[in-house]
Amino acid sequence: MKNFTFYNPTRIHFGKGQIAKLTTELPADARILMTYGGGSIMKNGVYEQVMKAVGNRHLVEFGGIEPNPRYETLMKAVEVVREQKLDYLLAVGGGSVVDGTKFIAAAVDYQGDPWDFCTRGVQSKSALPIGVVLTLAATGSEMNAGGVITREEFKSKRAFGNPLVFPRFSVLDPETTFSLPPRQVANGIVDAFVHTTEQYLTFPAEAPLQDRQAEGILATLIEEGSKAMEQNPDYDNRATLMWSATQALNGLIGMGVPHDWATHMIGHELTALHGLDHAVTLAIVWPGVMRVMKEEKRSKLLQFAERVWEIAEGSEDERIEKGIALTDDFFRSLEMKTRLSEHQIGSASIDLIVSRLENSGMKKLGERGTITPEKVKEILTERL
């Protein structure tokens, strides 16, 4: 096991009716910017619950944060905060709203161009406090210190991190997800699944507890994921999916072990170029990464097949392939199209992605840095 530092100070209020906790969590004299997305919170009762709990505190609304939140939009919010001297951010939405709000929090007092956070790893030295009301289980952003931002003018999608942007608290009420369209529920399941595998399907690192923690999340997502698509919203099912997504990316399972993240890096390019949902890109790219990197990941792919998919029969290669194929089937059971051609994306796009990754310096992806541009081409070609 490698050395690590684990720190996660976000307070989670989980369950029915917990939005009321805003009343005690928000400072009485907070001057709040409430950020949200496309306005679904106006239709599903979340807005009313938030307003009731916020009471007569000073609150300014900032809606319209997109999926894959845009730098351009967020900088407008930064201006509002600066002009109106607001001092607390309340993100009400899914991972994009939370990610975007973290960017705003860190940008407000930063002197340069905050895009530096994403391209040069700059960490601003202060950030406004953030509270979250989560309405979509997927990214884990509600309990971590990172985010992913898209700069439209460059068609560039980049991650940033800063310990100062851990939310002070996050409210996770599974009932807020009842009104989601199935596509978004499915996106969340795939996102959490691939977050987990990025920290697990690498090489053995003498970390058997972290392995079992990751396998527990994967098995749970498979079991509960299929139920989520079968039925009308069930509270316990949505609660388990929500908590699983948080656990998949709150840092815990990734402590002391190698990380991959190539599926994400390649997927980000597909979103930036073609506007595909983040999770859809993961479902496309993941089987390709596993097949092309099979030798390097052999030991963990066998463990994954055995423990997560309970595959006991067949040669090593057969078991590995069956584990990958069952995962692809699982994604497809969530109504994901996992082939590029199903999204009308062809080999010209593959060449473009490869050259974009090269130009951004991402020539050595994966847990060993062996996913070169040639390998990316092979991976995406497998997914045509």
| Binding stretches for its own copies (CB under 8 A) | 1-18, 206-209, 212-213, 215-217, 219-220, 223-224, 236, 239-240, 243-244, 247, 252, 255-256
Name every residue whose Cβ is closer than 8 Å to that of residue 303 and which is 6 or more positions away in sequence: 204, 211
Residue 113 or 236 having the CB closest to its own copies:
236
Q: Is 120 helix (H, G, I), strand (E, B) or coil?
A: coil
Shorter beta-carbon distance to its own copies: residue 1 or 352: 1
Give the other-Cβ count within 10 Å of 236's Cβ. Answer: 10
Helix (H, G, I), strand (E, B) or coil at 379: helix
End-to-end CA distance of the chain: 37
* Shortest spacing between CB 179 and its own copies, in angstroms: 20
Measured from the CB of residue 45, what is the shortest distance to its own copies in angstroms? 18
Q: Is 9 exposed, middle or buried (0-12, 13-18, 19+ CB in 10 A)?
A: exposed
Contact in structure between 145 and 7 (CB atoms under 8 Å):
no
Minimal distance in Å, beta carbon 215 to its own copies?
Answer: 7
The contacts of residue 317 (CB under 8 Å, 6+ apart) are: none
191, 153 Cβ separation under 8 angstroms: no
Closest by CA to 191, choosing from 258, 70, 280, is: 280
Quote the CA–CA distance of 241 and 137 in Å, as a whole number: 7
Q: How far is the CB of 24 from its own copies (least distance, A)?
A: 11
Q: How far is the CB of 98 from its own copies (least distance, A)?
A: 17
55: alpha, beta or left, given left = phi > 0 and alpha = psi -120 to 50?
A: left
**Closer to its own copies by Cβ: residue 41 or 221:** 221
Residue 359 burial (CB count, 10 A): 9
Query: Closest separation between CB of residue 55 and its own copies, Å?
Result: 21
**Of residues 40 and 213, the one with the C-beta less far from its own copies:** 213
* Residue 130 backbone phi and psi in degrees, to 5: -125, 135
Measured from the CB atom, the residue of 95 and 167 that comes closer to its own copies is 167
Q: How far is the CB of 231 from its own copies (least distance, A)?
A: 14
Length of the chain as a residue count:
384
| Nearest distance, CB of residue 318 and its own copies, angstroms | 23
Question: Which CA distances in Å does 113 have to 75, 110, 120?
Answer: 10, 8, 11
Helix axes of 262-274 and 373-382: crossing angle, nearest 10 degrees:
70
Q: How far is the CB of 295 from its own copies (least distance, A)?
A: 24
Q: Are 10 and 168 contacting, i.e. CB atoms less than 8 angstroms apart?
A: yes
